[in-house]
Amino acid sequence: MKRCTTAIFGFLLIGLSHLVMAQSYPARPIRIVVPFPAGGIADLFSRHIGQKFNDAWGQPVVVDNRPGAGGNIGAEIVAKSPADGYTLVMGSIGTHSVNVSLFSKLPYDPLRDFAPVALVMEAEGLLVLHPSVPAKSVKELIALARARPGQVAYASAGHGTASHLAGELFKSMAKVDMVHVPYKGNVPAITDLIGGQTSLLFATMPTVLPQVQAGRLKALAVTSSARSPAAPELPTIAEAALPGYSVTNWIGLFAPAGTPRDIVVKLNGETVRIMKTPEIQKRLVAEGAKFTPTTPDEFAAYVKSEIAKWAKVVKEAGIHVD
């Protein structure tokens, strides 16, 4: 009986300490690790959210870019960080859904090692070409690639990223042979595409739409399952040539597994509030992205479903990174 009472008292103390921790959180600076280079979509929205966290809670938020290995380096840092809510990662479709199927030895488990906080945004993608590429439609691009097997090069933000998978899925469904040229992030991939070093790129709309509007790149279609309000004149790849084709990138906040539930809930509530503000909503719409509010549990379920979806795509497309 005494042991039982002691155990119950111990659990109550743990629960009380977690409650006190959550009520005082944050009491020091927060670090958001971005596993990609500066300038990309994950970096931009980490900085938006970080500034708003600072405004709301009066604590500095440091955005720490740790690119490399398809996002695995930055994700691993957070997976092995203290579970106290002061180190977060802006994970992505790559780090938390795709990489587990692409890499034979992932240095973390996307489900076991993290506490999902909130889905931040889903970004529609664009299939963009260098203006010199002689294709005015998806069907013409496919015809060109078939006529020049192994000569059309498509850039990506890196091995295992959404842009890589979008290209491989396109190759598989269109039955074309294109060369994959991986970069360390969207920014260098876009820079080289503009410079004519590669022919095409599948990229999130926020990162390439301004280049299309400026005439530096040519857009053929959107990668999502429905047309985008940001570019309603563009067809989907599915309706243009490849029925069933659909790729939507996403990013979301994660804490290390074991982070007190009350802190996760507090982070979720503030993230949702920030993303619902007119300022952020206006930016999302203009850039071809959307925000769907989720609870931590709903986000966790979404991540599980994405892992299953992309495992099937990776297997069917025969994609391998290592």
Residue 130 is part of a domain; what is its CATH number? Answer: 3.40.190.10
Statement to judge: residues 57 and 72 lie in one domain: yes
Statement to judge: residues 171 and 204 lie in one domain: yes
**Per-residue pLDDT tens over the stretch 35-44:** 998 988 899 9
Looking at residue 215, what DSSP letter applies? T
CA 21/CA 291 separation, integer angstroms: 29
Give the end of a domain, one of 240, 262, 295.
240
Residue 27 has a pLDDT of: 98
Statement to judge: residues 279 and 209 lie in one domain: no
Q: Are 243 and 159 in contact (CB under 8 A)?
A: no
Structure confidence at residue 8 as a pLDDT band (50, 70, 90)? low
**Verdict on whether the full-model pTM lies above 0.85:** no
Residue 31 has a pLDDT of: 98
- Considering the domain boundaries, does residue 16 fall inside one? no
CA 265/CA 103 separation, integer angstroms: 31
CA 267/CA 191 separation, integer angstroms: 35
Residue 288 has a pLDDT of: 76
Statement to judge: residues 132 and 224 lie in one domain: yes
- Considering the domain boundaries, does residue 133 fall inside one? yes
Average pLDDT of span 102-116: 95
pLDDT at residue 290 above 90? no
Statement to judge: residues 115 and 261 lie in one domain: yes
Instruction: Give strand pairing partners of 202.
Output: 127
Statement to judge: residues 37 and 107 lie in one domain: yes
**Per-residue pLDDT tens over the stretch 187-209:** 999 999 999 999 999 998 878 98
- Considering the domain boundaries, does residue 47 fall inside one? yes
Work out the mean pLDDT of the chain and round it to a whole number.
91
**Per-residue pLDDT tens over the stretch 144-169:** 999 999 999 999 988 777 888 899 88
For the chain, the domain total comes to 2
Give the end of a domain, one of 223, 240, 257.
240
Residue 161 has a pLDDT of: 77
- Considering the domain boundaries, does residue 15 fall inside one? no
Give the end of a domain, one of 240, 274, 296.
240
Statement to judge: residues 235 and 130 lie in one domain: yes
Tokens of 158: 């890196």
Statement to judge: residues 146 and 195 lie in one domain: yes
Q: Quote the strand ranges of the chain, DSSP E.
A: 30-34, 61-65, 87-92, 114-129, 153-156, 179-182, 200-204, 218-222, 248-256, 289-290
- Considering the domain boundaries, does residue 20 fall inside one? no
pLDDT at residue 13 above 60? no
Statement to judge: residues 83 and 229 lie in one domain: no
Residue 76 is part of a domain; what is its CATH number? Answer: 3.40.190.150
Statement to judge: residues 91 and 193 lie in one domain: no
Statement to judge: residues 49 and 196 lie in one domain: no
Statement to judge: residues 301 and 197 lie in one domain: no
CA 317/CA 173 separation, integer angstroms: 9
* Enclosing domain of residue 58: 28-123+249-317
Average pLDDT of span 179-192: 93
